[in-house]
Amino acid sequence: MKCLQSLSRFVSPQFIPLRLKQTLLICALLFCCFAIGVDANAENIFAQWDQRLFDRFYDAPPRSEPMWTVMEGISEFGHYRSIMGLSILLMAYGDDDYQRTGRLLTSAYISAGVMTYGLKRLTRRKRPLDETLGNPSLPSGHATIAFSAATILGYRYPKWRIPLYIGAGLVGFSRIYLGRHYTSDVLTGAAIGTAMGVLVWHNRVTLLQWEF
């Protein structure tokens, strides 16, 4: 009887989403660890796969100007200025609900940003078109920011979740199209952003008690 009760609890509708979220979060973190563990600048199967995908998606000169302009515009939605600007507007001029959303966006942005900065310094991967190491490539900061924001806004406004993630995916793709990142940079950034968004959301009660 106890086994049946335990089984019924495991498959109950209330338990499955929590277990699924935990599983997705663990998978995202494992993917990040895998990406860090691989020498991003080495000649291996992983790097070759990354290079082939980059060569397929990157719009090398001569460029199709309308598409290039569109991708540059989409890429800006993953810039820290866009997310911080939205957060400040929500906190400064919104009602209580919008202010809470702005604070959660800020928390997700800060946590994702710290994670991204640390990993960039650990991996020290050159960008696809750079001869020397400038701002490291792995992970993509734009993808991290876009997916962390999409996760928070998706929780706050569930009806918009799919369009938000599609938009975040377009931001990630634009970084490859514009020649700024490899596919693995974007996927790692997406995993980090989503994971940080989930962590912030599930700790929102504590975070919303902070005054900032």
φ, ψ of residue 126 to 5 degrees: the values are -70, 150
pLDDT value at position 23?
52
What's the pLDDT tens digit per position in 109-164? Answer: 888 888 888 888 888 888 888 877 778 888 899 999 999 999 999 999 999 999 99
Which CATH architecture best describes the domain 65-212? Up-down Bundle (1.20)
Beta strands in the chain (DSSP E): none
At 157 the three-state DSSP class reads coil
The structural domains of the chain, with segments of one domain joined by +, span 65-212
* Per-block mean pLDDT, blocks of 10 residues, the chain (212 long): 42 44 54 51 71 84 77 90 87 84 89 88 85 82 94 93 94 93 92 91 82 56
Q: Is residue 189 a contact partner of residue 140, using CB atoms and an 8 Å limit?
A: yes
Whole-angstrom distance, CA of residue 47 vs CA of residue 38: 9
What end-to-end distance do the CA atoms of the chain give, in Å?
51
pLDDT value at position 159?
92
pLDDT value at position 118?
87
Whole-angstrom distance, CA of residue 130 vs CA of residue 136: 10
Neighbour-count burial of 145, counting CB atoms closer than 10 A to its CB (0-12 exposed, 13-18 middle, 19+ buried): buried
Whole-angstrom distance, CA of residue 10 vs CA of residue 175: 41
Q: Is residue 155 a contact partner of residue 108, using CB atoms and an 8 Å limit?
A: no
Q: Is residue 194 a contact partner of residue 161, using CB atoms and an 8 Å limit?
A: no
